[in-house]
Amino acid sequence: MKIIQSPSPNKSSGEGYDKTVLMIHKTLGLMPWTLKWLQNPQAQVSAQYIITKTGIIYQLVQNKDMAWHAGRVNNPSARGKRVMLKTNWGSYVNPNKYCIGVENEALINDTWTKPQLKANIWLFKQLRDDPNVAFDGSEDHFITHRDTANDKPDLESWRDKILKSVLVSDKNGDDDRECKKIILDNWRQFGLELKGGKIILFKRS
């Protein structure tokens, strides 16, 4: 899987904030119009990423910069309040400053497609494992737009599905690593040959 660079002019400086939160959205429009809209200077909106129904990932704004996807705060949820930053005066910091926004191509009542879900899981893990991104992959730091503005579409089922799928794939990965370790620790018993610390072939009997 790869990320296609498709820059949008709709961005600002990151202003020194680390991107600790990953936020998912619905575009409420379809490709290619919705991508063009996020790149239109008159729209005054953007996101770091957009994932299409076919599972293509476009990056519009670099992670270090501020995309314009969640600047308005409106009656945030309890989960949102746990991660939202406040100024010294008690007002909320613009979430765009510390959130990476991921738009998903979808109309209001659309659920995910399989390629779209797969791309969301892949991107989640890429960002979590990127040493240049502060997002740690924890449940609290993965939110929906409704968590900061309660008049936005409900993406709770999307969030739950992505989180559960990430946990399952991580568990499978741990199992694979454990299997590889067992084989490497006991390679002679399996009738294997090593070269330079790597398994290269089965021994012929």
Is there a contact between 45 and 69 (Cβ–Cβ < 8 Å)? yes
Is there a domain that residue 147 lies in? Answer: yes
Kindly give the residue spans of alpha helices, DSSP state H, lying in the chain.
33-38, 78-83, 114-129, 156-185
Is there a domain that residue 194 lies in? Answer: no
Is there a domain that residue 198 lies in? Answer: no
Q: What is the pLDDT of residue 119?
A: 98
Q: How many domains does the chain have?
A: 1
Task: Grade residue 169 by pLDDT with cuts at 50, 70 and 90.
Answer: confident
Is there a domain that residue 19 lies in? Answer: yes
For 155, the token pair is 């993406």
| Residue ranges making up the domain that contains 137 | 3-177
Is there a domain that residue 203 lies in? Answer: no
Q: State the helix-helix crossing angle for 156-185 and 114-129, rounded to 10 degrees.
A: 60
Q: What is the pLDDT of residue 170?
A: 78
Is there a domain that residue 145 lies in? Answer: yes
Is there a domain that residue 65 lies in? Answer: yes
Mean pLDDT across the chain: 89
pTM of the complete model: 0.83
Is there a domain that residue 185 lies in? Answer: no
- Can you name the residues that pair with 199 across neighbouring β-strands? 194
Cα 3 to Cα 50, 55, 59, 84, 114: the distances in Å are: 10, 10, 6, 28, 18
Return the CATH number at 29.
3.40.80.10
